Amino acid sequence: MGLFDKLRGELVDIVEWIDDSKHTLVWRFPRYQNEIKNGAQLIVRPGQKAVFVHRGEIADVFDEGNYELKADNLPILSTLQGWKYGFNSPFRSEVYFVSTRQITDLKWGTPNPVMLRDPEFGPIRLRAFGTYTLKAVDPKALLKELVGTNAEFNSDDVAEVMRSIITQAFTDMLGTAKVAALDLAAHYQEMAGELRKLVAERIDDEYGLEIPQLFIVNVSLPEAVEKALDVRTSMGVVGDMNKYQQYQMGNAMMAAADNPNGGGAAEGMGLGMGFAMANRMAQMGAVPGAQPTGTPPPVPDAATWHAAIGGQSSGPYSLAQIQTAIQAGQLDRSTLVWCTGMSNWQPAGEVPQTASLFGAVPPPLPR
């Protein structure tokens, strides 16, 4: 290799950036101590800008296009270099390529819940997250404020500061909007537009960045509050709670009856459900199996009764409830009962007040 070829190999004659990344904002052309050749070609592709930096000072900025680097199209650099009559020799200068296209699919979210005084729930905590796009609009400001001497600068390097700015703006907006938590979903689009404006005011001039689009994907309540709302919604869907309780108790009684291996616990549960069902129906005046008569019902018995169910005392019950449980097959003659005035527990079939209730009820089928 001759001397001329060696010198030519040390000079850069094409300055360009073939961007195959999606999130790179700034990329420094790797000179590796080589000098840029006089008359070298500068290629700035669509969605790019090229910035020349000489000895720490920002010089010329080139938009997209193909340029031959000469003194007449490097006026600021020529002044910094002291080229009075043009230049015919190689020169050294750092070249930064800045991507001016939108970087999409960037995410933001509140790292901690935002406190809000809600008109319906009172003090409440909210979390929010969404997406945004980012674009460089002022390469000089971007290089001065964020990039510095980095060889490469991408969206991840600015993500933390962007999340902080968006979160702070979102908190300020919620404080002034005074929208109820349950109505936020209906205002996502309106709030996203206002939030984008607030963020743009804080980054355009300072960092040379623009946020063309910003979306609010979701604003969520704390998990405990969401569960309470689900219960509240379920109650509204159920409607008549008395009918719903009757339906639930009926299902539980059928499940207990279908489980012959449940033992005393299952029998106790079934009988307890039966008593509760009887009490509910008695309050509503709809005791199943009661025979309609033309005479008024008897005066309620003031005595309170207890029954031994599953080896445990259950009650107190009125005599009418005991009768309802007998008619439902939940209590038989051998069930131990007790009321005030009795010295000990006795089978229901041997106590005069309860024995008379078995008159019209057939005994259980033999097993």
| Per-position DSSP letters for 205-236, written without gaps between them | HHHSEE---EEEEEEE--HHHHHHHHHHHHHH
**Residue 239 amino acid letter:** G
> Cα 173 to chain center, whole Å?
19
Q: Is the pLDDT of residue 8 over 50?
A: no
How confident is the model at residue 107, as a pLDDT?
A: 93
> Binning pLDDT at 50, 70 and 90, where does residue 310 land?
confident
314 DSSP β-pair partners = 307
Mean pLDDT of 345-359: 84
Q: Are 19 and 45 in contact (CB under 8 A)?
A: yes
Q: Is the pLDDT of residue 292 over 60?
A: no
**Average pLDDT in the chain:** 79
Is the bond preceding 288 in cis, omega lying within 30 degrees of 0? no
Q: Are 319 and 348 in contact (CB under 8 A)?
A: no
How confident is the model at residue 75, as a pLDDT?
A: 85
Please tell me the least confidently modeled range out of 158-162, 177-181, 201-205, 299-303: 299-303
How confident is the model at residue 56, as a pLDDT?
A: 83
- pLDDT tens-digit series, residues 193-208: 999 999 998 887 788 9
> Binning pLDDT at 50, 70 and 90, where does residue 6 land?
very low
Q: Is the pLDDT of residue 132 over 90?
A: yes
How confident is the model at residue 199, as a pLDDT?
A: 93
How confident is the model at residue 267, as a pLDDT?
A: 52
Instruction: Name the pTM for this structure.
Output: 0.58
Distances (CA, A) of 167 to 2, 83, 182, 251: 62, 50, 20, 50
Please tell me the least confidently modeled range out of 190-204, 206-220, 296-310: 296-310
Question: 111 or 34: which carries more pLDDT confidence?
Answer: 111
Mean pLDDT of 16-43: 85
Q: Is the pLDDT of residue 216 over 80?
A: yes
Q: Is the pLDDT of residue 27 over 90?
A: yes
> Binning pLDDT at 50, 70 and 90, where does residue 93 land?
confident
Question: 181 or 298: which carries more pLDDT confidence?
Answer: 181
205 DSSP β-pair partners = none
Type and span of the H or E element at 9: helix 3-9
- Supply the DSSP string of 90-103, one letter for each residue: -B--EEEEEE-SPE
Please tell me the least confidently modeled range out of 136-140, 182-186, 291-295, 338-342: 291-295
Q: Is the pLDDT of residue 135 over 80?
A: yes
How confident is the model at residue 84, as a pLDDT?
A: 65
How confident is the model at residue 300, as a pLDDT?
A: 54
- pLDDT tens-digit series, residues 33-75: 668 888 889 999 999 999 999 888 899 999 999 999 888 888 8
How confident is the model at residue 356, as a pLDDT?
A: 83
In whole angstroms, what is the distance from residue 143 CA to residue 158 CA? 13
Mean pLDDT of 329-354: 85
- pLDDT tens-digit series, residues 250-263: 666 666 666 655 55
Q: Is the pLDDT of residue 192 over 90?
A: yes
Q: Are 209 and 136 in contact (CB under 8 A)?
A: yes
How confident is the model at residue 287, as a pLDDT?
A: 47
Q: Tell whether the torsion through CA atoms of 195, 200, 201 and 207 is positive or negative.
A: positive
In whole angstroms, what is the distance from residue 62 CA to residue 100 CA? 12
Question: 188 or 227: which carries more pLDDT confidence?
Answer: 188
Instruction: Give me 353's structure tokens.
Output: 């007040």
How confident is the model at residue 302, as a pLDDT?
A: 57
E strands, the chain, are 11-16, 24-28, 35-44, 48-54, 57-62, 65-68, 94-99, 103-109, 114-118, 122-136, 152-154, 209-210, 214-220, 305-309, 312-317, 336-339, 346-347
